[in-house]
Structure 1
Amino acid sequence: MPTGVAIRDAREQLFDAAERVLLRDGPSALTSRAVTAEAGCAKGVLHRHFADFDAFLAELVRDRIARIEQQSATLHEAAGTGTVAGNLTDALTALFGSVAVAIVGLITSRDELRARLRRTTPVGVPVLTEATAVIASYLIAERERGRIAAGADIDTLAPMLIGTGHLLFADRHSAPPDAGTVHKAVTAVLAGACP
């Protein structure tokens, strides 16, 4: 892109480009040059908006965490409707069918990125920690409606569902699992928790 040409929504354009590189080529291919080439802009554009590449990556992760938190509202609206397993199947598919699995790989492969994210997510793995909180909140809402057993251990169920979902979607080289496979896993995790 020629110098002096304004880029509309540069941050979002760079985030989307990073996501495409991450999904297509994996965390090791994610460099500032790869991102700016994918975005079709000069490398200086990234450094005009972010102090360095790890600052860019930290903001990318935080932006994707905000999207997960927005999905929380959709999941909460589903409480009391459909089936608990169906709602969780949809939520896990939406979460892990996106870039979340690739972002977890990125976080685990970059020490400086993890250190920066520790400032806002002091425990757990960013993205997975927030997703677990969303699932736990939904399970509590369903428990209040009597669709999850009063004695169900939500603090155990939520991370089990996130871990199961993550493992089902983790292989980025194969086709994602179909809804039936995800539903079967969710049903197995919820066994005994639904009255």
Structure 2
Amino acid sequence: MAPTGVAIRDVREQLFEAAERVLLRDGVTALTSRAVTTEAGCAKGVLHRHFADFDAFLAELVLDRIGGLRLRAEGLCESAGTGTVVANLAVVLADLFGSVAVAIVALVISRDELRARLRAAGSKGIPLLTEAAAVIAAYLTAEQAHGRIAPDADVDTLAPTLIGATHLLFASARNTEPPAMTEVVKVVTAVVGGVVREG
């Protein structure tokens, strides 16, 4: 039982979800250990029993979400050769940035100690965005093998371009309704339309 009398099945996930809610609702500056435990409905000490300190908690949150991205990547690569390239990319990009990715990127950028811990854990560049670009590059490479992306297309440039453009699209809509799927499709088409070989 938690100190509040509520059974906690998976304390880590409960705390991670609480942190995401605080991030999305109140922004990076409001994210504190007290805000997380209050949101999770448990005593402040619960977080510190499971993590060395707050930055360790945040690093584990980001790494956990990167792990979830890798699972989605498997599904994206399996979709190569089916549907359309633009639709497959638009769906996965909207899913990625429709979650908490924009808020997590802002969190990583705002905390030096968190970035240092993520780099020590093997993350490069801007965590989550770097991994997302690798996922997109792997998918585009799989589509090249199916003949649906031009063989000379520079997938290692196209992938981060897609990530950057979609991130900006969603970041600009952070406090309003997320962009419509038609807007995501427009961005994807602008970036990869010249190398797609479908139909």
State TM-score, norm by structure 2: 0.95
Q: Deviations over 1:79-133 (max 9, x none)?
A: 1011100000001000000001100000000010001001123531000010000
* Counterpart selection for 1:179 from 167, 178, 181: 181
Structure 1 segment 94-133 matched on structure 2, within 5 A: 94-133=95-134
Q: Paired residue for 1:82?
A: 83
**Is the Cα–Cα contact under 8 Å of residues 90 and 184 in structure 2 kept in the other structure?**
yes
In structure 1, what residue type is equivalent to 2:177?
A
What is the RMSD of the two structures over their aligned residues, measured on CA atoms? 1.3
Instruction: Provide structure 1 residue ranges, at least 5 long, that are not aligned to the other structure.
Output: none
Q: Paired residue for 1:191?
A: 193
In structure 1, what residue type is equivalent to 2:147?
G
Q: Deviations over 1:2-21 (max 9, x none)?
A: 36765221011000000100
Q: CA deviation at 1:74?
A: 1.2
Q: Paired residue for 1:159?
A: 160
In structure 1, what residue type is equivalent to 2:126?
V
Question: Greater CA deviation, 73-82 or 105-114?
Answer: 73-82
**Is the Cα–Cα contact under 8 Å of residues 4 and 42 in structure 2 kept in the other structure?**
no
| Number of residue pairs aligned between Structure 1 and Structure 2 | 195
Q: Deviations over 1:52-94 (max 9, x none)?
A: 0000000000000001001001111211011100000001000
SS at structure 2 position matched to 1:134:
helix
Structure 1 segment 27-46 matched on structure 2, within 5 A: 27-46=28-47
Structure 2 Cα separation of the partners of residues 6 and 186 of structure 1: 44
Instruction: Provide structure 2 residue ranges, at least 5 long, that are not aligned to the other structure.
Output: none
Question: Greater CA deviation, 61-70 or 165-174?
Answer: 165-174
The share of aligned pairs that are identical, in percent, is: 68
Displacement over 4 Å in runs of 4+: 3-6
Structure 2 Cα separation of the partners of residues 169 and 61 of structure 1: 19
State TM-score, norm by structure 1: 0.96
Question: Greater CA deviation, 122-131 or 33-42?
Answer: 122-131
In structure 2, what residue type is equivalent to 1:94?
D
SS at structure 2 position matched to 1:118:
helix
In structure 1, what residue type is equivalent to 2:170?
F
Structure 2 Cα separation of the partners of residues 39 and 101 of structure 1: 21
Residue 150 (str. 1) matches residue 151 (str. 2): yes
